[in-house]
Structure 1
Amino acid sequence: MAGPSTAERGERQKLESGPPRPPLVGRLRRLRRLIILLFALVLAGAAAVWILYGSPWFRTERVSVSGTRVLTAAQVREAAGVPVGSPLVSVDTDAIEARLLKELPRIDSVEVVRSWPHGIGLNVTERTPVLIIGKGAKFVEVDAGGVRFATVPDAPKGVPVLELAVPRSGAPSRFPADRLVREAVRIAGDIPARVARDTRTVKVRSYDAVSLELSGGRTVEWGSAEKGPAKARTLLALMKADSGARHFDVSAPTAPASSGS
């Protein structure tokens, strides 16, 4: 049997060797284009870094403050310590937030934002006192979380005074003072708005013996902080039903009582 012809052997060799390789010049051309592209990317990256960090176009020039009520903008700026003149992109916003919360306990939260191309914004939320505690001739403000955040010379208007009247003699109390303060804060948050405006003192004798002293010599026996919303509704109904009463007891909201003297 005759072997493959010369033409057949040539075709077989072409198939085995694959498609013809591109000439060397073409490969060099593509390599040169790749090098140029990489070089352009490096230059673009270097230019971007210089624009953000080295140019005068994106420097920190101003610090704006919003949301303050008691604090001044100057106090917030000073405590923030924003590095004016530094590249805006390099300002550590987390560090600024941490400094503000540490230096100004009146601040409950703060949002530090970059305002391109030259500003830093400090959006402050201050704590709101729900109770105050007498401390000599001054007052300590307590917020809704039970945090004692500031000492002020004058009592804030419309904020009840917390009076801890826990007996000092005999066996120690089951609940520490901080726990009693937190319970009083819970109660202050449940007092109906109509009654809260007239509340002068929240008096704590024990965990389950808390009373309110209102304007006009009226009092409310509240009891513990449990079932606060139910006690609030009961108190409003009781005051409406017996508007001339001076003493109200909602410590057991299902069995309230009131009296005129």
Structure 2
Amino acid sequence: MAGPTTAERGADDDLRSGPSPARRLPGPRTLIILSLALVLLGGATVWLLYGSSWLRVERVSVSGTRVLTQAQVDETADVTPGAPLISVDLDGIEARLRQKLPRIDSVEVVRDWPHGIDLKVVERTPVLLVEKPGKGGKYVEVDAKGVRFATVSEPLKGVPLLEMELARSVAPRRFGADRLVRAAVRVAGDIPDAVARSTRLVKVRSYDSISLELTDGRTVMWGSGEKGRAKARTLTALMKAAPDARHFDVSAPTAPASSAS
């Protein structure tokens, strides 16, 4: 007679072993102990961050400044010494620095545990100077974004002066002053480095008529601010090919010209 099948043997084993014992849940006493431990841990953390003297502001570090002094940045940041490090308003410090020190292009404010605040500053770099109207010889610095951010009493070496000499045919309602300044800034950013170092003046007569005057008296007709990279490459090649030329025209980079007078 045949013996029991595999299925029958499995069923017999299940009957002999009985149901699996259920997992025991933590009792009320254990739950109370765990809850108290969590409360104590949370309270200790809050006390450590806000109440203890271990994690408080003891120093403010400033890096990245060139024209601004570390004292100026530190004073404007106005971080309260001894304040809990966790409570310092980083966004507020950043907003205050950018508002009161327009020379700052960007700033990263970070906590340096356990006692420091680090201010990593990036200053704006002037690409043009705009002479302020009236007497006094003041100049406004303009960065590569067209932002006018600071006034200086003397022109900066290596930064060209912007001269707006608009032709009568230029309609202000079509090309506003801000747009023309942005066009000049764009040109200043595209000038080859070797030429930029000797550029004294960026002259704007219209949106399509922007020229350069170099410190040695040479001039460059740049045209509009478009195709700047192509114009820069063409100007570099043209100056090498015609070293004695005094006037260069790269307004149409595919058909440049130079002349000695």
Q: TM-score, normalised by structure 2?
A: 0.87
Tell me what 1:231 maps to: 231
Tell me what 1:214 maps to: 214
Alignment map for 1:162-201 (pairs within 5 Å): 162-167=162-167, 172=172, 174-201=174-201
Distance change >3 Å, CA 33–CA 213, structure 1 → 2: same
- Rounded to whole Å, the distance in 1 between the matches of 2:72 and 2:168 is 41
Equivalences, count? 240
* 1:46 pairs with one of 43, 47, 52: 43
- Rounded to whole Å, the distance in 1 between the matches of 2:162 and 2:21 is 93
- Rounded to whole Å, the distance in 1 between the matches of 2:204 and 2:53 is 60
The structure number with the bigger radius of gyration is 1
- Rounded to whole Å, the distance in 2 between the matches of 1:134 and 1:247 is 26
Q: Which runs of 5+ in 1 are unaligned?
A: 1-17
Does 2:260 align with 1:260? yes
- Rounded to whole Å, the distance in 2 between the matches of 1:40 and 1:49 is 14
Cα distance per residue 1:115-156 (max 9 Å; x no partner): 111110000000000111111411100000000000011111
Runs of at least 4 residues of structure 1 off by over 3 A? Answer: 18-22, 167-173
* RMSD (Å), alpha carbons: 2.1
Cα distance per residue 1:148-192 (max 9 Å; x no partner): 000011111100001111146885452011100000011011100
Tell me what 1:161 maps to: 161
Does 2:91 align with 1:94? yes
Tell me what 2:32 maps to: 35
Does 2:56 align with 1:59? yes
Q: Which runs of 5+ in 2 are unaligned?
A: 1-18
Does 2:116 align with 1:119? yes
Tell me what 2:243 maps to: 243
Distance change >3 Å, CA 155–CA 170, structure 1 → 2: closer
For the 8 Å contact 2:170–2:206, the answer to whether it is kept is: no
Distance change >3 Å, CA 133–CA 35, structure 1 → 2: same
Q: Report % sequence identity.
A: 70
Q: TM-score, normalised by structure 1?
A: 0.87
Q: CA deviation at 1:92?
A: 0.7
